[in-house]
Amino acid sequence: MNRCLLTVLAALSVTAVLALPASGQEREVADALLGPLPVRDLYLLNNGFFFFTPEGAHVLDDNSWVVDLHTTDANTFAKSRWISHNIEFDTVRRTGAQTLAVNRMDPGVTNFLVDGETFRTTLSAHRGLGNNLEVAIEVPFTTIGGGYSDAFIEHFHALLRLGDDQRVAMQKNQETVFVRTDNFTYLREHSSGSHLGDVALSAKYELPALEDPNLSLSLQAAMELPTGNAQSLDGSGSLDGGVQLLATRDFGRSRVNASAGLLYLGRNAPLGLTPQFVVTDSIGFSSLVAAHTSATVQVTISQSPFRKIGAPELARRSYQMTAGVQHAFNPGLTVYGGIVENLITYQNSADAGLVMGVTHRF
């Protein structure tokens, strides 16, 4: 699937350059269309942790509002090296419990098996205060389960000869989340339904105009409240937060949006994690391809909250790409959709995902 999406990325870039609209594009429509897609880290193990949702550096005008509702569906199939070795060439489909039962777990070896699908629906509201400040709230609802997309992904991989990553050794659309170190063991095999996640509050301050009028910089601070359940992976169980620098470079009909952030994640008792700092960055390109339509590609690069538990696969940074389209019916109403895929490293990020949403400005 990765090769296919890289082809999509190239096609979108060419289309963005060759199919630009006339220079009379309304500024309000351009602002609505040229921001990044609101896709945070979608790795199943990271569902309860705080991660920034990509956004541009511009702030809303005083007393202006933006309300956004979007949903993401992400499939994760990831495993540690020892489990991969044990199920290599195995074509007998087993449940996660059966797979773990036939694997010898040596003391001192960290093992994990993450097989499931995450559905995350987020309602957010942003308001401009004065000339340089914007405040926001994000309220997520999440469901983790076996999902429905395993068969599609297996057929897609077979069609493009991408390999199955030993998916054929696991039963389709079954949930297993297993992490084991010398200090703790976490196992869940059944969905607990839909739950409120951790609610996030943020404030973004746009720095005074620079010499380059097309470059905008903002500082953002955020705090996430422990309103979700850490045991079911719907929350972190602690007060988390972060700060990031946002940059937007405007080229008229296209924009580059980038961010560099530092997260503070508190203690997570169910997963045996102590307080830590996590670095996360993003960069994206959006361009108008029609009068009211834009194409967007973006990449998010993040450290894993599990990078210190002894699993080499989780010690690396994850690379998540999103490619999508945004369409404005009018300056106030925008809809968007996109596909999400992991890049470079494959055991520390979601295999594939979808995002769909609608934004209303007033």
| 233: pLDDT strictly greater than 60 | yes
- Amino acid code (one letter) for 267: R
E-only strand ranges, 162-250: 176-180, 185-188, 194-196, 200-206, 215-224, 240-250
CA distance 36 to 28: 16
**309: its two tokens:** 């538990």
pLDDT number for residue 23 = 37
pLDDT number for residue 44 = 94
* Residue bearing the bigger pLDDT, 8 or 46: 46
| 11: pLDDT strictly greater than 50 | no
**CATH superfamily ID and name for 2-361:** monomeric porin ompg (2.40.160.40)
Q: Which tens digits make up the pLDDT trace of 86-142?
A: 666 666 666 666 666 666 666 667 888 888 899 999 999 999 999 899 999 999 999
Residues 41/302, Cβ–Cβ less than 8 Å: yes
pLDDT level of residue 183 (50, 70, 90 thresholds): confident
pLDDT number for residue 138 = 98
Residues 200/224, Cβ–Cβ less than 8 Å: yes
CA distance 331 to 29: 5
pLDDT number for residue 247 = 97
Closest residue by Cα to residue 73 from 110, 15, 118, 131: 118
The number of C-alpha atoms within 13 Å of 332 and in the hemisphere containing its C-beta is 4
| 16: pLDDT strictly greater than 50 | no
pLDDT number for residue 169 = 64
CA distance 325 to 79: 32
pLDDT number for residue 57 = 95
Lowest mean pLDDT among 24-28, 36-40, 277-281: 24-28
Closest residue by Cα to residue 304 from 80, 17, 9, 37: 80
| 307: pLDDT strictly greater than 50 | yes
pLDDT number for residue 135 = 98
Mean local confidence (pLDDT), 287-312? 94
Q: Which tens digits make up the pLDDT trace of 147-178?
A: 776 676 766 666 665 555 666 666 677 888 88
pLDDT number for residue 191 = 78
Whose tokens are 């989340």? That residue is: 177
pLDDT number for residue 107 = 67
- Amino acid code (one letter) for 338: G
Closest residue by Cα to residue 272 from 182, 348, 190: 182
**165: its two tokens:** 């990553």
**357: its two tokens:** 């949403």
pLDDT number for residue 171 = 67
**pLDDT above 70 covers what percent of the chain?**
80
pLDDT number for residue 163 = 55
Mean local confidence (pLDDT), 61-77? 95
**301: its two tokens:** 């690069």
**DSSP string computed for 95-107:** -HHHHHHTS---T
Model pTM score: 0.85
CA distance 313 to 3: 21
Whose tokens are 């979007």? That residue is: 70
